[in-house]
Amino acid sequence: MGNLGWYQLITTWSKKVGGPKTLLLLIAAGGYAIVRSVEAGGKKVYRLVKDKRKSDKPKSNLESFVFTENGIGENGLSFSKGDKFFIVAIHDDAILIEKENDDNNPYFVSAKWLQTLSNYEIEKKEV
């Protein structure tokens, strides 16, 4: 490269693209494209997060249940008699619950286990 360094590199690129004005336009257009792409991606992520927050059911709409015993579950869920919890999702025997005023939410528990320790009852499906 010689002792001219970056100057020699820039002049070589300028000659390849047709002059320094063309090189500056290409650099500006490339920078603009990169900035706009990042902006569009950021907006898309923002919308996804915003839509996800809107789709989450507020706890006020969820039915609340109460633990009827004291204890600690296998997954670290500690509960006392009278503690409220909300059922967020149910899939077969697995239930996702959120205990009121608990920073470690959510917890996955078994429906049968939950029925023995609270006022939650498993719904019977008739065929």
- Whichever domain contains 91, its CATH number is 2.30.30.40
- Are residue 73 and residue 111 in the same domain, yes or no? yes
**Mind listing the pLDDT tens digit for each residue in 75-85?**
888 899 999 99
Q: Identify the domain containing residue 44 by its residue range.
A: 2-55
3-class SS shares of the chain: helix, strand, coil, % to 5: 50, 20, 30
- The residues of the chain scoring below 50 in pLDDT are 125-127
Q: Is residue 125 part of a domain?
A: no
pLDDT in tens, 36-52: 999 998 898 888 877 76
Distance CA(85)–CA(62), nearest Å, equals 10
82 in a structural domain: yes
Q: Answer yes or no: do 77 and 50 share one domain.
A: no
126 inside domain: no
64 and 113 both lie in a single domain: yes
With respect to residue 96, please indicate whether it lies within any of the assigned structural domains: yes
Quote the pTM value. Answer: 0.49
